[in-house]
Amino acid sequence: MIALALHALRRAIFAISIAVIFVVFVGPIAILGVTSIRPASGVFYIWRGTNFTFNNFVEVLHQSQVVEAMWNSFVLSTLATILSLGITVGSGYMLSRFGGWIQRSWFATIYIFRTVPYISWVLPLYLVNTRLGIYDTYIGLLLPHIAVHVCFFSWLMKGFFDGINPSMEYAALIDGCTRWGAFYRVALPAAMPGIAALAILCWLSTWNEFLFALILSGKRTPLITSTMAQFVTETGTEWNLMSATAVLAMMPALLVTIFGQKYVIRGLRM
Amino acid sequence: MAEVTLQDVVKKYGTFKVVHEVNLNIAAGEFVVLVGPSGCGKSTTLRMIAGLENISAGTIRIGDKVVNDLPPKDRDIAMVFQNYALYQHMTVFDNLAFGLRNRKVPETEITSEVTRATQMLGLEPLMARKPFQLSGGQQQRVALGRCIVRRPQVFLFDEPLSNLDAKLRAQMRIEIKALRERVPTTSVYVTHDQVEAMTLGDRVVVMKEGWIQQIGTPLQIYNRPANRFVASFIGAPAMNFMKVELVEELGVMSAQAKDFKVELPLEQAAVLRKHGAKTVTLGIRPEHIRFGIPSDNAGSSFSGVVTVTEQLGSEQVIALNVADSTIMASRISPETEVSPHASVQMWVDAKALQFFDDKTEMAIR
């Protein structure tokens, strides 16, 4: 009897926990979703009234800056992913397979950069970018993103390569490969699930990034995250338009997450 | 097939020497086993032959060619690794074909070579599988196949059976031996398992702390170990050692310890007399300690107290307390009833005894 009661209690606690987690995580997104289909007059009372409209979406998609920002964010995320993975894969492999002062210094550099708070880079980077004349350009946004990714993902990449037994590469060396061939034809394909996972994480983190976008981009290369914030104006916040933009911005990330999830999980399990 | 020659080969990591002046001539077609405990330098020596480690000094020749500075791919060798080292993203067929494709062998020839190897190893049904879909034994067979297809000058084996369970290991040992008959190739085989060393090797090289201790046929190593280390390393249960005093009475030499006395044959006595030491270490293989009293040689019997018995079914191993030291006796018939703490009478065949210098630990010959 007591066992049965305990069982019921445990189930109840489990159900309540799930409900709380659900509300905490899904609640804001649900509010965002509903806000995005409410007219401007309805945004403060989203749980009342039956006025729904897709005009918000039409309106933001007619704003050239929003469309341009989405395109810029897409290009920036894709380029940053390709370029930073190119470096990260090599860097992770080097850290995993070779020892020596170069590797140790590189490791120390990455470590130091990881310990520095992200936000403290942004203002110096603004000064550097304006001085170099690359403020508000692709290159001025790309370079900081690549730097951050290389520092943050080299360790993960090293972990992936650590998980691949080097004797596979030795076998390749004996089977007629050069050192480069052993890396390219054997280690790299074996690390592919990990690389795919990193590519997804890398793309998402650039797409969602806000600080660099806010400080280092301007009118010429607007990015989606900073553009969204521009609905906060002197005359008030256009919540409905901001929500519609946010929902649009969520779409690519959502698609990548849904379709890439299995690669991320497989990769991180490596 | 080519001969492999190691001349004064040294490996140093910084100032630390892990392999000391190794000299070894392996004849074409010979199967040599490097054996020793972990850290003895056997794998490093093998990896130096493979070209996976640089050598710090000396010369390695494969055939007539000095290969010191050749990359592994140009040494015409094949290697089997402990963890199989199969290419995880390739099928069994592609794993086998990889080395040939790198050498730009025509695809028709690759297919026929791969087929030959897979038939030999019974891998035909597995050709389309990936390594993770194979059992350990199957993976190691693919690794063997990868060696065979290339028809290299030398096979190198780096503890290939260590990851397999005992039963499979015994089976694969037999397969490797059978394979040798069909694909005779110079082979260097590294293992820490003395059974593999004894059963597979034409010659066995026993190593310790980077030094070669002895090179010889399995029987030479077993019957005439060069020093106490080799004697204790090869053989299971291990050889028993006991400090004894050599006493001459009326022209007869005997090895004595507390409650222990064995009279020595004339030749053995002559050798020990020439050596001159009064106390030496006596080595007895467990199978040379027999139960009961000998009919003809009463002088070599002694008594001991049984401490532990191990019933193995085919034989019985017993641990005895003799002369304040524990020694193991084996090859006791499994039917013999022995109970712990019983006092038993044993005898040894004096001709089978080995003697080692107390200080140098070298065999006294």
A200, pLDDT greater than 60: yes
Q: What is the pLDDT of residue A50?
A: 79
The answer to whether B52 contacts chain A (CB < 8 Å) is yes
Residue pLDDT, tens place only, B126-145: 999 999 999 999 999 999 99
Q: What is the pLDDT of residue A269?
A: 66
The residues that bridge with B80 in the sheet, in sequence order, are B157
CB contacts of A167 in chain B (<8 Å) are: 81-83, 85
CA-nearest of A167, A191, A97 to B72 is A167
Q: What is the pLDDT of residue B322?
A: 84
**Alpha-carbon distance B3 to nearest alpha carbon in chain A (angstroms):** 18
Q: What is the pLDDT of residue A128?
A: 93
Complex ipTM: 0.88
- Judged by average pLDDT, the poorest of B31-35, B205-209, B256-260 is B256-260
Q: What is the percentage of chain B residues whose pLDDT exceeds 70? A: 98
Q: What's the first-to-final CA gap in chain A, in angstroms?
A: 45
Residue pLDDT, tens place only, B300-309: 778 888 988 8
What value does the mean pLDDT take over residues B49-78?
95
CB contact under 8 A, B79 and A171: yes
Q: What is the pLDDT of residue A229?
A: 86
Interface of A with B in 153-212 (CB under 8 A): 165, 167-168, 170-178, 181, 186, 189-190, 192
pLDDT band at A268 (very low <50, low <70, confident <90, very high): low
Q: Report yes or no: B357 and B280 within 8 Å, Cβ to Cβ.
A: yes
Does the pTM surpass 0.90? The reply is no
When CB atoms are compared, the residue of A168, A177, A178 closest to B85 is: A168
Distance CA A52, CA A38 (A): 5
| Amino acid symbol at A60 | V
Q: How many residues does chain A have?
A: 270
Structure-derived torsion over alpha carbons of residues B61, B64, B66, B72, reported in degrees to the nearest 10: -70
Mean pLDDT, rounded, of chain B: 91
When CB atoms are compared, the residue of A181, A186, A192 closest to B87 is: A186
**Alpha-carbon distance A201 to nearest alpha carbon in chain B (angstroms):** 23
Number of residue pairs across A and B with CB atoms under 8 Å?
61
Higher-pLDDT residue of B297 and A103 is: A103
The answer to whether B79 contacts chain A (CB < 8 Å) is yes
Tokens read off for B161: 């059976």
The DSSP output letter for B251 is T
Whether the ω angle into residue B237 lies within 30 degrees of 0, i.e. cis, is: yes
Interface of B with A in 107-166 (CB under 8 A): 146, 150
- Judged by average pLDDT, the poorest of B16-30, B213-227, B337-351 is B337-351
Residue pLDDT, tens place only, A211-223: 999 999 988 999 9
Q: What is the pLDDT of residue A3?
A: 86
Q: Which of B46, B54, B102 to mutate to test the interface with A (most CBs of A within 10 A)?
A: B102
Residue B221's region, left for phi above 0, alpha for psi from -120 to 50, else beta, is: alpha
pLDDT band at B332 (very low <50, low <70, confident <90, very high): confident
